[in-house]
């Protein structure tokens, strides 16, 4: 399972700086999740909020 974003944004780079100890990433394109693991809900809330407001920067 994954959360994909447009590869020309800096979102994954920002998330990697903030959450590299908690989340796994695929290049500059996605956050990857293991189906057997619990979702890191607090970190995902931040990532989704930043993705939804990215154009407002």
Q: For each of the chain's 57 residues, which pLDDT tens digit applies?
A: 999 999 999 999 999 999 999 999 999 999 999 989 899 999 999 999 999 999 876
CA 45 from centre of chain: 9
pLDDT at 41: 95
Domain span at residue 6?
Answer: 2-56
The model's pTM: 0.86
DSSP state of 20: T
Domains of the chain: total: 1
pLDDT at 31: 97
């Amino acid at each position: 399972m994954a959360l994909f974003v447009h590869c020309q944004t800096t979102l994954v780079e920002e998330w990697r700086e903030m959450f590299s100890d908690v989340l796994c990433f695929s290049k500059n394109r996605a956050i990857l999740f293991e189906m057997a693991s619990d979702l890191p809900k607090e970190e995902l809330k931040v990532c989704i909020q930043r993705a939804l407001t990215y154009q407002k920067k």
